Amino acid sequence: MEKLNQLYEGKAKKVFATSDPNYVIVSYKDDATAFNGLKKGTIAGKGEVNNRMSNMLMTMLEKQGIPTHFVKELSSRETLVRKVSIVPLEVIVRNVTAGSLAKRLGVEEGITLKRTVLEYCYKDDALGDPMVNEYHILAMGWTSEETLRKIAEYALRINDILKAYFKGLNIDLIDFKLEFGITSDGQLVLADEISPDTCRFWDSSTHEKLDKDRFRRDLGGVEDAYREMMRRIEGK
């Protein structure tokens, strides 16, 4: 499939058209932002890690019955995916208190939640991706009740699969963000990426952070953390 013009440039990826209208090519950048684009930087090698990690995880999820946009890895930074219309929600799954949840509830980070927490944010940069609930989503018509039910079901199943997988790599999956899309033939699929940009990974023994929080919080060792995650996933 031929790579054509650029359709879109986001904060961490570019999207290109292909000769088939049902497919696009995503190209992962080393650019990193935080706090709704307020903090900017680069993380050398991030694009390659996120591309490979996301593709490996989506392949694993597909095998376990979760439909995804992933089609084929084209190069170290580029992947062919199904073109989707993105459901304008960030679906956040939490197992342990951290980040904005810890802040909002006034609790420390690292408390294991008694059950999984699911949150939705409305994808709108100008508004800073405000948190919304099922009532807002349905009242605003951002997606249907049936699709929202499926999104929640997939998100919880993805959490079960990923939590167990990462535990085997001595990593605690603290929380993560998912995005879903609808293909041209109406199928709901997992889209965007699953990477250290979109997940919190803590080493199970040392509790060391191995994700983008090292960049957000100026902790240093950002590149090493991304490389370490890739090393564990590749079993080296």
Give the binding site for ligand ASP (CB under 6 A): 11, 33-37, 212, 216
Are 190 and 67 contacting, i.e. CB atoms less than 8 angstroms apart?
A: yes
**Residue the block writes with tokens 């440039």:** 9
Q: At what angle do helices 222-233 and 46-63 cross, to 10 degrees?
A: 30
Residue 220 binding result from ligand TMP, ligand ASP, none, given CB thresholds of 5 to 8 Å by partner type: none
- Cα–Cα dist 188/223, whole Å: 34
Q: Considering beta carbons, is residue 130 or 220 the nearer one to ligand TMP?
A: 130
Q: Which residue is nearest to ligand ASP (CB)?
A: 33
Q: Considering beta carbons, is residue 36 or 85 the nearer one to ligand ASP?
A: 36
49 forms part of the interface with ligand TMP (CB under 6 A): no
DSSP state of 68: B
195 forms part of the interface with ligand TMP (CB under 6 A): no
Q: How far is CA 29 from CA 4, 9, 199, in A?
A: 18, 10, 17
DSSP state of 186: -
Q: Strands 31-34 and 23-28: what pairing? A: unpaired
199 forms part of the interface with ligand TMP (CB under 6 A): yes
CB of 223 to ligand TMP, least distance (A): 18
Residue 25 binding result from ligand TMP, ligand ASP, none, given CB thresholds of 5 to 8 Å by partner type: none
CB of 215 to ligand ASP, least distance (A): 8
Mention every residue, 6+ apart, whose C-beta is less than 8 A from residue 135. Answer: none
Mention every residue, 6+ apart, whose C-beta is less than 8 A from residue 221. Answer: 214
89 forms part of the interface with ligand TMP (CB under 6 A): no
CB of 11 to ligand TMP, least distance (A): 9
Q: Considering beta carbons, is residue 163 or 216 the nearer one to ligand ASP?
A: 216
200 forms part of the interface with ligand TMP (CB under 6 A): yes
Which spans of this chain sit near ligand TMP (rule: CB under 6 A)?
92, 98-101, 175-177, 198-200
